[in-house]
Amino acid sequence: MGTSFGHARRRVLGVACLASVICLALAIAHPAAQPPAQDAGELIRKVREHLHLDRELQTQYTYLEKRRDVKVSKLGKVTVGPVRTFEVYPGDRPGRTYKRLIEIDGQRLAPTELERRDGEHRQAVLAGVEREKNESAADRAKRQQKEADEKREERQIIDDGFAVYDIKLVGQETRDGCQMTIAALTPSPNAQTRTERGCYFKKFKGQAWVCREDYQVARVEMEAIDDITIGWGLLGRVNEGSKFTFTRKKVNGEIWLPAEAKFDASGKTLLFRKFQLFTVTSYSDYKKFNVETSTTYGDHPKEDP
């Protein structure tokens, strides 16, 4: 029950993937950047080739993640856990990120507990490396196929965003010292999508703020325009009017990365138990990760020159 609700919540939060969609749409639509008509197709192809999801960009950095997790009991009661702070270290591949828990409700974990957790993680990493070293050709092919499927799905999610949303420029605003173009996102209920997350896009409308200097999305605000069922309605429902806000900031004057995600929702879980929750996940203290100089978890990673 808890796991299923968590997966559904992550799908709802997946609206943030639209940032890449909006970046491309505005880069194409901006008059100053528009090439001759005969080159428009080539421009679209090149821009799409260079799109990266935030998950990919974050693998170049170590950072702090602070969040409160949502839990659902077997009887459908929704509770929000304590504030937990993690030091996040990228791995060599997706799925190997190490989220090192360092604080709970502002209280630092004891050094012995940190050491125990680090030791367990190292052993898990070493065991994974050993398994891959000894895996059969069939298992290796299966693993590589799974990784390729995940990357293909991420691209399909971006495609679904283009299929679902009508993007129109509706205004301008200065935010965080940057001139922003405001775009309205209106879903088409009859749009054809290829991914499960794409189907959820149809349930949201919203706006996005895009920095005119480099066409990067700084903020996305989305609101559910219909109830969203979880597990075909058997596990629960998120109500119309629930909101998701996602903000990004420029790090070191060179790259835009996630700064904060807010989820404000109401609904019902199994046995018609109502819930109202508000959660905030923040990302901060980004530093360029250098694996050669950051071999020990807990050491302050050195920034690349």
Distance CA 265, CA 4 (A): 17
Q: Which amino acid is at 152?
A: R
Residue 229 in tokens: 């069922």
Q: What is the pTM of this model?
A: 0.78
Q: Which amino acid is at 146?
A: K
- The radius of gyration of the chain's CA atoms, rounded to the nearest angstrom, is 21
Q: What is the mean pLDDT of each run of 10 residues along the chain (305 residues)?
A: 43 49 50 40 46 67 92 81 94 76 96 95 89 89 90 83 82 87 88 86 89 83 89 72 92 87 88 85 90 48 37
- The β-bridge relationship of strands 243-251 and 216-224 is antiparallel
